Amino acid sequence: MSVLYLVRHGQASFGTEDYDRLSARGKNQSQALGTYLMRAGTSPTRVVSGGMKRQRQTVQGLIEAAGWDTPPVVDPGWDEFNASDLLNAYPEDDPGAKTDSRAFQRLLEKASARWASNDHDADYLESFSAFTQRIDTALDNAVEGLGSGQDAVVVSSSGAIAWAAARLLNGGFPQWLALNRVTVNSGVTKIVTGSSGKTMVTFNDHGHLPRSWVTYR
């Protein structure tokens, strides 16, 4: 069997002008995970990230802390869905969502339900169906060609990882939404691939983090 580790990026910079960069806490989270994986003996033959800055910065933190010499590859298929696009298309607004993470999450979930209904696809740069197909393809590509006993590490975002997990559980939008809601920054989802296909064995493991370092946004 081969093993794929799906890693959510470290904490980004919510509430600032540039969300798409790691906060100081996010850098610490990525380094803590790199140290944890190194001590666990993880030595990936493939390291991948989406194209977003927070994802690429997390990969660098992992590599530096773990001491890996595998050069990272960027696959935009692992990019997160465009939350701003969803919120801009939603007919309601909540000014508090710009700085209050809970208000933002409530509004985003309402906007996500509208997006996933497939009744308003023309309103979005990427439909929900296109997003899920993109993640399906990225997941297949991430494990393609991995030999028995080989590991791959992919750094992505909560929505993308939640869909990969929901797909493997034969779930749909409700399961995706529930998983997306609880994904921890730098949390690890472990998928094994063998003769019977892909199997998710853990979701959102964040045992490498002190409790005070656990963040969701």
Return per-residue pLDDT of the chain as tens, 217 residues: 899 999 999 999 977 877 889 999 999 999 999 999 999 999 999 999 999 999 999 999 999 999 999 999 999 999 999 999 999 999 988 888 777 888 988 999 999 999 999 999 999 999 999 999 999 999 999 999 999 999 999 999 999 999 999 999 999 999 999 999 999 999 999 999 998 899 999 999 999 999 999 999 8
Position 51 scores a pLDDT of: 97
Q: How many Å apart are CA 185 and CA 80, to the nearest integer?
A: 14
User: pTM of this prediction?
Assistant: 0.94
**Strand duo 151-156 + 2-8: pairing:** parallel
31 and 62 inside one domain:
yes
Do 49 and 74 contact (CB within 8 A), yes or no?
Answer: yes
Positive/negative CA dihedral, 189, 195, 50, 64: positive
Do 28 and 213 contact (CB within 8 A), yes or no?
Answer: yes
Q: How many Å apart are CA 207 and CA 96, to the nearest integer?
A: 32
132 and 107 inside one domain:
no
**Owning domain of residue 64:** 2-79+126-213
43 and 100 inside one domain:
no
